């Protein structure tokens, strides 16, 4: 039997990716166990999802700390307490700093709703629609010190529904949930 990889998921918002990954781990689709949710927004809906799934939550407001380094040290302590092996970013709206990058070299993964290197940063779906591209997509990549940079692990294309940005967003999110689970499965089975 494969040993389960202990993962911590980082999220700041609604947490649909958190829910998809947690479910995939639970049913054995990813050989991993979600040991912690880390959020920088204690009131984000993702915390409700974690509580319902029985996943411990580490919720720290960065502004309550004197520096980003001290914030990340507090997060790191919680990660070490649960022996997290990989950090999985799923809508975590903050750049990872040197403390966590140093503690988890090449072991932090992010998902981004575009075909990187196109449309990095915020509102990638809106950026793609505004640019008039016909195809956008989803990227899963290893995190480095940049914003949505780092080696690409997997990508998939999604058609832009020109007359309906909401439909485009829905298609992107569906693709995210599938691609993230598949990519982590491949990564952890190696
Ligand atoms: C996703 O589109 C993710 O790629 C981006 O933020 C969004 C989070 O959505 N970084 P959710 O909170 O998982 O629903």
Cα 123 to ligand 1 centre (Å): 10
Annotated catalytic sites, by residue? Answer: 112
Sequence-ordered list of residues with C-beta below 8 angstroms from that of 154, at least 6 positions apart, any chain: 139, 140, 179, 182, 183, 186
CA-derived radius of gyration, the chain: 16
pTM tops 0.95, yes or no: yes
What atom of ligand 1 comes closest to residue 13's alpha carbon?
12
* Mutational test site, ligand 1, from 111, 115, 165, max ligand atoms within 8 Å of CB: 111
pLDDT by residue (tens digit) across 62-108? 999 999 999 999 999 999 999 999 999 999 999 999 999 999 999 99
Cα 77 to ligand 1 centre (Å): 25
pLDDT by residue (tens digit) across 110-145? 999 999 999 999 999 999 999 999 999 999 999 999
């Amino acid at each position: 039997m494969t040993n389960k990889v202990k993962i911590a998921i980082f999220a700041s918002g609604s947490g649909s990716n958190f829910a998809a990954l947690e479910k995939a781990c639970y049913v054995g689709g990813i050989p991993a166990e979600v040991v912690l949710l880390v959020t920088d927004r204690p009131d984000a809906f993702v915390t409700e999802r974690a509580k319902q799934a029985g996943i411990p939550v580490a919720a720290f407001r960065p502004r309550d700390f004197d520096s980003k380094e001290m914030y990340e040290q507090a997060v790191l302590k919680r990660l070490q307490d649960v022996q997290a092996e990989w950090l999985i970013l799923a809508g975590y709206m903050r750049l990872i700093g040197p403390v966590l990058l140093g503690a988890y070299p090449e072991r932090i993964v992010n998902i981004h709703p575009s075909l990187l290197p196109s449309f990095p940063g915020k509102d990638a779906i809106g950026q793609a629609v505004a640019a008039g591209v016909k195809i956008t997509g989803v990227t899963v990549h290893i995190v480095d010190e940049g914003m949505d940079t780092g080696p690409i692990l997997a990508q998939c294309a999604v058609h832009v529904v020109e007359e309906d940005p909401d439909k485009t967003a829905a298609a992107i999110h569906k693709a995210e949930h599938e691609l993230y689970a598949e990519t982590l499965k491949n990564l952890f089975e190696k």
